[in-house]
Amino acid sequence: MTSGIQTDAAALNELAEYMTTSLNIEDVMERIVDYVDREVPDRRLTAEILREILNKSPSESLPSSDGIAVIDAFSVPRVSFDPVRRMFYATPGKPSVFGSIESKIQLYKSRYHMILQRLSRNPSFRSLVELKSLLGRFNEPAIVCGFLSQPQPDEFALEDLSARVRLDLAEAEPADGYFTENSIVVAEGTLTASNVFRVSALGLPPAEPTAQALRALAGLDTFGAADLAPQQQAAWAAAHPADRVVMLSDVWLDCEALLVRLQRVLMGYAACGSPPSCVALAGNFLSPPARRKNAAPELLVAGMARLAKVLDAVPELRAATQFVVIPGPEDIGPSLSLPRPPLMPSLAAPLTAAHPNVRLGSNPCRARVGDRRVVFFRADLASLVAPMALIPPGEAGAGAEAAGRASGSEEEGSVPASLARERGSPVDEAFRHLVASVMQQAHLCPVPLEVAPVVWEHDQALHLYPAPDALFLADCTPAAEHLFDACVCINPGPFYENSFGAYNVAERVAELCDVPENEFELASDDGRTTEEVEDQPSYETLDLVVEPMAATHDMVYDLIDT
């Protein structure tokens, strides 16, 4: 008996089996209890009732709201590529969080076939051959593709599903991106008499335009949310002519100064006439000193109550904006493996109970906003990928800077001028290489599994195929943006450094924003600065109803195109 529920033996067996496919056990139990409370008067849980509860998609707990659909990583559809029939098909069976060794092998096969089928449609790689076909073809130019590895220090190798060959990279000219161990690369060169492939050019597999990828998928959904009907999309676009998707990362809920700053940002958007339809708030949700305390769960619950108070102060966003709360790499959770499930409902209860427009998202998390597909990922990816590079990335090529930036104009519904960064800031080179790696590998975390563990049978939740319209790679490094083909890639930067980012849906551009300290007062009620609050977190209830700035009604809302 659980929570006064009589459970049949058959239901218990099915529930135990289902738990092997879910990391968010508490959420499953809450769904069962809620359903029994509403629908089962005798409170007897049979196997049939349990199947009815569990067969409901997890995404149904994150319902769409006026054209917005939030997709949990554990409900992302899985597809596989058949290299014999040369077509995609829906992967049968339910994924498990306790996969076998065969699941790990299949993970690498799936990544490889996903890249190889993409290259097979690229005219530049029609001469691509398997490694086994190099046998005996000495000094003949060839193009090959496979997993890059380093068996010994200063020794490199390339491996595909047919063979393995040592590499000589002394004369190789690398392209953009980080070449990490186990990443899939394309190499051009010749096989020497000593069976070493001497590489003249090394690159990551070129990405494929979204339209081509969708044709290859032949109607299969890999994102997790169906497109809006044309009439629905037209109505949504007409109602949101200046829409934005905003992301703030490292929102420390135990830091009073940051909460005051967050409220001012939300008040600015609420006052601009066209508030964003989606705001993602990502962790880590506690400052470093608070994370080290034994009472961290209680502190997080208290922080969620404070966040609820912040949202109370901007009622204009209650109906207009959907908030998505995404856990950070050091937030409390059942596992450090990717993808990470949403925060436990009990930790966020003070927030979700007070604000029905708040959704608990996984990490990574997907959202369809109108007809745009957006991916949110909170990880310190730069510190993972860059140190793992086996060889230095290539020099910046022509066209690295995004061209054709439109000039700004003053109109209602755009970002407050006080939050906008100066236009024309150079593209951060490290971020450019990171984006090149992620987009060309079509994977959010292109590093070895020993460095960033992945739930093997849920690896597809990290895939980026086809490429989304916008990709938020929230990191603790300074904010940056880069346009890769048609995908707008944004690192909003940490909010504790006054930084956040937005995707302008209508203009399809990134907006990097600051919260200037000289305009937004950051001192908490007791006068402490952000740094002082970080050193000595306060957990007392904070009165966050801040008087609007006198000049608010005179603020110039300036559309920025960075």
pLDDT for 312-366, tens place per residue? 999 999 888 999 999 999 999 888 899 999 999 999 999 999 999 999 999 999 9
| Nearest Cα residue to 480 out of 447, 513, 508, 443 | 513
| Minimum mean pLDDT range among 195-209, 376-390, 536-550 | 536-550
Rounded distance between C-alpha atoms, residue 37 and residue 57, angstroms = 20
In the prediction, which pLDDT does 395 show?
58
Q: Provide, rounded to the nearest whole percent, the portion of the chain with pLDDT above 70.
A: 81
In the prediction, which pLDDT does 317 show?
92
Rounded distance between C-alpha atoms, residue 305 and residue 214, angstroms = 43
In a domain, 471, yes or no: yes
In the prediction, which pLDDT does 322 show?
95
In a domain, 88, yes or no: no
Q: pLDDT tens-digit profile of 123-160?
A: 999 899 999 999 888 999 999 999 999 999 889 999 99
The CATH number of whichever domain residue 494 belongs to comes to: 3.60.21.50
In the prediction, which pLDDT does 295 show?
82
Same domain, residue pair 179 and 254: no
Q: Is the pLDDT of residue 403 over 80?
A: no
Q: Is the pLDDT of residue 55 over 80?
A: no
In the prediction, which pLDDT does 560 show?
28
Same domain, residue pair 469 and 490: yes
Q: Provide, rounded to the nearest whole percent, the portion of the chain with pLDDT above 90.
A: 60
In the prediction, which pLDDT does 60 show?
40
| Mean pLDDT calculated for residue range 211-216 | 92
How confident is the prediction for the chain on average, in pLDDT?
82
In a domain, 530, yes or no: yes
In the prediction, which pLDDT does 3 show?
54
Q: Are 338 and 462 in contact (CB under 8 A)?
A: yes
Q: How confident is the model at residue 106 (pLDDT cuts 50, 70, 90)?
A: very high
Same domain, residue pair 525 and 554: yes
State the sign of the Cα–Cα–Cα–Cα dihedral 61, 66, 71, 77.
Answer: positive
In the prediction, which pLDDT does 227 show?
85
Q: What is the Cα 292 distance to its own chain's centre? A: 26
In a domain, 353, yes or no: yes
The CATH number of whichever domain residue 196 belongs to comes to: 2.40.50.140
Q: Is the pLDDT of residue 405 over 70?
A: no
Rounded distance between C-alpha atoms, residue 81 and residue 61, angstroms = 30
Give 115: exposed, middle or buried? Use CB within 10 Å, 0-12, 13-18, 19+: buried
Q: Is the pLDDT of residue 19 over 90?
A: no
Tokens describing residue 95: 């994924």
In a domain, 502, yes or no: yes
Rounded distance between C-alpha atoms, residue 119 and residue 97, angstroms = 31
Same domain, residue pair 372 and 453: yes
Look up residue 259 and give its amino acid.
Answer: L
Q: Is the pLDDT of residue 30 over 90?
A: no
| Nearest Cα residue to 452 out of 297, 290, 336 | 336
In the prediction, which pLDDT does 105 show?
94
Q: pLDDT tens-digit profile of 421-471?
A: 443 344 488 999 999 999 999 999 999 999 999 999 999 999 999 999 999
In the prediction, which pLDDT does 188 show?
95
Q: How confident is the model at residue 20 (pLDDT cuts 50, 70, 90)?
A: low
In a domain, 99, yes or no: no
In the prediction, which pLDDT does 56 show?
59
Same domain, residue pair 330 and 421: yes
Same domain, residue pair 535 and 476: yes
Same domain, residue pair 176 and 223: no
* Bond into 284 cis (ω within 30): yes
User: Which one is predicted more confidently, 107 or 415?
Assistant: 107
Same domain, residue pair 163 and 215: no
In a domain, 173, yes or no: yes
Same domain, residue pair 287 and 176: no
Rounded distance between C-alpha atoms, residue 513 and residue 448, angstroms = 33
CB burial readout 522-561, b (16+ within 10 A) else e: bebeeebebebbbeebbbeebebeeeebeeeeebebbbbb
Q: Is the pLDDT of residue 80 over 80?
A: yes
Q: Are 139 and 191 in contact (CB under 8 A)?
A: yes
State which H helix or E strand residue 231 sits in: helix 230-239
In the prediction, which pLDDT does 420 show?
42
State the sign of the Cα–Cα–Cα–Cα dihedral 26, 28, 33, 37.
Answer: positive
| Minimum mean pLDDT range among 6-15, 35-44, 510-519, 549-558 | 549-558
In the prediction, which pLDDT does 26 show?
62
Same domain, residue pair 216 and 142: no
State which H helix or E strand residue 531 sits in: helix 530-535
In a domain, 111, yes or no: no
Q: How confident is the model at residue 43 (pLDDT cuts 50, 70, 90)?
A: confident
| Minimum mean pLDDT range among 5-9, 85-89, 109-113, 184-188 | 5-9
The parent domain of residue 48 ranges over 6-56
User: Which one is predicted more confidently, 267 or 12?
Assistant: 267
Rounded distance between C-alpha atoms, residue 175 and residue 94, angstroms = 39
How many structural domains are present in the chain? Answer: 3
Q: pLDDT tens-digit profile of 484-527?
A: 999 999 999 999 999 999 999 989 999 999 886 644 443 333 34
SS3 452: coil
Bridge partners for 472 per DSSP: 376, 490
In the prediction, which pLDDT does 205 show?
96
Q: Is the pLDDT of residue 260 over 90?
A: yes
| Nearest Cα residue to 361 out of 2, 20, 27 | 27
Expressed in percent and rounded to 5, the helix, strand and coil fractions of the chain are 30, 25, 45
Same domain, residue pair 342 and 197: no
Same domain, residue pair 196 and 322: no
